[in-house]
């Protein structure tokens, strides 16, 4: 039975553009996945191309035509089939992109350690910040599921990401000029961790300074239905009433609205207000409450009397 | 002695050099240091003004461009971009 996301988790996703499930996939499945792709020591991998060629030739990861239903994508009882049938993974996917989601694409990202670059006499560089695919002005959103079959230590250069950037509409690598962004995070995790990113989240791969190969398996999923209250099929969610602004009572408990209005350190003093407006607009779409607001951001400017 | 350019790009919280740095990039034409994405979590200076005080010369700043009518709430790139340089002499 899929374990649907909570309203707090949905608000977290609306605000930050990402969710993480630490050590979700069991040790046996992680081992099966690594065995399946022929995980080996760096000394036994001659080149990135040969390593990929071997994995493509021998693993059970199938070639999936774009638009294939997720339910038909992976061989039964393969490690990836087990991962997508995990009740938490299935519940999160159902909550965000529905139960009839389709696969856009998948890829096994491999980041080689320094030793490989030294042997090949190549410069070892991190991947620049980017937003995947291309300019995407839709209200509909896709998700990208990241699976980390091994431990990722700090020195392994896990995926760098920038919480709260998902609603900024940019053109793929056009954000590569931002070498560092205040509040940037890099994934450090135990084996079996799953991350789910909004398709607009800015990110990039770090440099692997460890002795081991780093893997990240990614699948991009598209919805085939409106993404409205998919996590709340009984439609129980009700927006909170207005609260006082600026002259406030700090003793109140944190609510969904505090999650939605969370500021991020990289946001400009002026544009962060537009970021908040866009989170409210996103939350309106997710909840189906077309007039709901948080902290009066939209009500104020929708009060047009002429 | 040859001259080489070092470039520092700062993105500030608002369009004044007194504003805090929210994003940064460094390109070292002397070849002494290779900078790359994600190589630092702490800004090189707290504000744009601090970069000036350390000898960086401002040579470009972003313009204020009004939002497109009908697209006033669309958000995109970081807005307040400032390019600085230092020239270094040496045998490169």
CA dihedral (B84, A165, A138, A84) in degrees, to 10, reads 140
Q: Which residues of A touch B38 (CB under 8 A)?
A: 126, 157, 160, 179-180, 184, 186, 204, 206-207
> Residue A236 has what pLDDT?
96
Q: Which residues of B touch A202 (CB under 8 A)?
A: none
B37/A128 Cβ within 8 A:
yes
Choose among A129, A169, A268: nearest Cβ to B22: A268
Q: Which residues of A touch B25 (CB under 8 A)?
A: 177-180
A113 to each of A125, A161, A292, B38, B90, how far by Cα in Å? Answer: 11, 20, 49, 17, 34
B39/A180 Cβ within 8 A:
yes
> Taking each helix axis from N to C terminus, what angle separates A7-16 and A271-287, rounded to the nearest 10 degrees?
140
> Residue A280 has what pLDDT?
98
**Exposed, middle or buried by CB within 10 Å (0-12, 13-18, 19+), for A233?**
exposed
For residues B49-62, b (16+ Cβ closer than 10 Å) or e, as one string?
A: ebbeeeebeeeebe
| Residue among A160, A162, A141, A158 nearest A150 (CA) | A158
pLDDT by residue (tens digit) across A191-240? 999 999 999 999 999 999 999 999 999 999 999 999 999 999 999 999 99
> Residue A120 has what pLDDT?
82
Name the more confident of A116 and A291. A291
B91 to each of B7, B28, B87, how far by Cα in Å? Answer: 19, 15, 13
Assess A207–B contact: CB distance below 8 Å, yes or no.
yes
Q: Which residue of A has its CA nearest to B75?
A: A168
> Residue A118 has what pLDDT?
85
Q: Where are the domains of chain B?
A: 2-63+77-90
CA atoms within 13 A on the CB side of A189: 25
Choose among B14, B36, B77: nearest Cβ to A179: B36
Residues 6+ apart with CB under 8 A from A253: none
Q: Where are the domains of chain A?
A: 7-222
CA angle A157, A163, A169 (to 5 degrees): 110
Q: Which residue of A has its CA nearest to B8?
A: A179
Residue A43 reports pLDDT greater than 80 = no
CA dihedral (B27, B29, B35, B41) in degrees, to 10, reads -50
Residue B58 reports pLDDT greater than 80 = yes
Per-residue confidence at A115, pLDDT binned at 50, 70, 90? Answer: confident
When scoring A179, A274, A293 by the number of chain B Cβ atoms within 10 A, the one with the most, hence best to mutate, is A179
Residue A27 reports pLDDT greater than 90 = yes
Residue A251 reports pLDDT greater than 90 = no
Average the pLDDT over B6-16 and give the result.
98
Average the pLDDT over A121-137 and give the result.
95
Assess A274–B contact: CB distance below 8 Å, yes or no.
yes
Instruction: Please give the backbone phi and psi of residue B81, each rounded to the nearest 5 degrees, phi first.
Output: -105, 130
- How many angstroms separate the CA of residue A15 from the nearest CA in chain B? 15
Task: Report the 3 state secondary structure along chain A.
Answer: CCCCCCHHHHHHHHHHCEEEECCCCCHHHHHHHHHHCCCCCHHHCCCHHHHHHHHHHHCCCCCCCCCEEHHHCCCCCCHHHHHHHCHHHHHHHHHHHCCCCEEEEEEEEEECEHHHHHHHCCCCCCCCCECCCCCCCCCCCCEEEEEECCCECHHHCCCEECCCCCCCCCCHHHHCCCCEECCCEECCECCCEEEEEECCCCEECCCECCCCCEEEEEEEEECCCCCCCCCCCCCCCCCCCCCCCCCCCCCCCCCHHHHHCCCCCCCCCCHHHHHHHHHHHHHHHHHCCCCCCCCCHHHHHHCCCC
Query: Between 3.30.420.10, 2.60.40.2580, 2.60.120.620, 2.60.40.60, what CATH number should domain A7-222 receive?
Result: 2.60.120.620
Sheet containing A18-21: which strands, arranged edge to edge? Answer: A18-21, A193-198, A143-148, A214-222, A102-111, A68-69
Residue A47 reports pLDDT greater than 80 = no
B86 to each of A123, A177, B55, how far by Cα in Å? Answer: 25, 19, 7
> Residue A119 has what pLDDT?
80
Q: Which residues of A touch B74 (CB under 8 A)?
A: 169, 274
Q: Which residue of B has its CA nearest to A162?
A: B38
> Residue B18 has what pLDDT?
98
Average the pLDDT over A254-276 and give the result.
97
Tell me the pLDDT of chain A averaged across its residues: 95
Chain B neighbours among A 146-205 (CB < 8 Å)?
157, 160, 167-170, 174-182, 184, 186, 204
Residue B66 reports pLDDT greater than 90 = yes
Q: Is B52 helix (H, G, I), strand (E, B) or coil?
A: helix
Assess B24–A contact: CB distance below 8 Å, yes or no.
yes
| Residue among A57, A51, A172 nearest A109 (CA) | A51
pLDDT by residue (tens digit) across A136-192? 999 999 999 999 999 999 999 999 999 999 999 999 999 999 999 999 999 999 999
């Amino acid at each position: 039975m899929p374990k649907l996301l909570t309203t707090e988790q949905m608000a977290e996703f609306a605000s930050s553009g990402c969710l993480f499930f630490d050590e979700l996939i069991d040790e046996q499945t992680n081992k099966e996945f690594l065995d399946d792709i022929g995980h080996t020591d760096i000394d036994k991998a001659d080149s990135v191309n040969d390593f990929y060629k071997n994995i493509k030739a021998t693993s059970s990861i199938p070639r999936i035509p774009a638009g294939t239903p997720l339910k038909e994508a992976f061989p039964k009882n393969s490690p990836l089939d087990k991962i997508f049938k995990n009740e938490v993974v299935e519940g999160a996917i159902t909550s965000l992109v529905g139960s009839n989601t389709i696969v856009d694409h998948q890829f096994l990202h491999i980041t080689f350690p320094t030793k490989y670059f030294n042997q090949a006499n190549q410069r070892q560089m991190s991947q620049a910040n980017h937003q995947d695919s291309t300019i995407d002005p839709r209200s509909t959103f896709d998700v990208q599921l990241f699976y980390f079959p091994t431990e990722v230590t700090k020195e392994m250069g896990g995926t760098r990401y920038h919480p709260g950037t998902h609603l900024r509409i940019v053109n793929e690598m056009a954000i590569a000029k931002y070498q560092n962004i205040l509040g940037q995070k890099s994934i450090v995790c135990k084996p079996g961790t799953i991350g789910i990113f909004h398709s607009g989240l800015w990110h990039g791969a770090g440099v692997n300074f460890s002795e081991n190969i780093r893997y990240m398996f990614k699948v991009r999923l598209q919805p085939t239905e409106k993404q409205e209250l998919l996590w709340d099929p009984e439609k129980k969610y009700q927006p909170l009433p207005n609260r006082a602004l600026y002259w406030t009572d700090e003793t109140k408990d944190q609510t969904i609205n505090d999650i939605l209005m969370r500021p991020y350190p990289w946001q400009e003093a002026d544009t962060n207000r537009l970021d908040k407006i866009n989170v409210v607009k996103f939350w309106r779409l997710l909840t189906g409450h077309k007039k709901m607001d948080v902290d009066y951001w939209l009500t104020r400017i929708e009060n047009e009397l002429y | 002695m040859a001259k080489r350019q070092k470039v520092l790009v700062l993105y500030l919280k608002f369009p004044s050099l007194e504003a805090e740095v929210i994003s940064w990039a460094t390109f070292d034409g002397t070849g002494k240091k290779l900078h790359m994405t994600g190589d630092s979590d702490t800004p090189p200076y707290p504000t744009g003004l601090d970069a000036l005080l350390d000898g960086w010369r401002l040579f470009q700043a972003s313009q204020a461009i009004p939002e497109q009518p009908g697209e006033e709430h669309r958000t995109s790139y970081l807005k307040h971009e400032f390019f600085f340089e230092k020239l270094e002499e040496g045998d490169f």
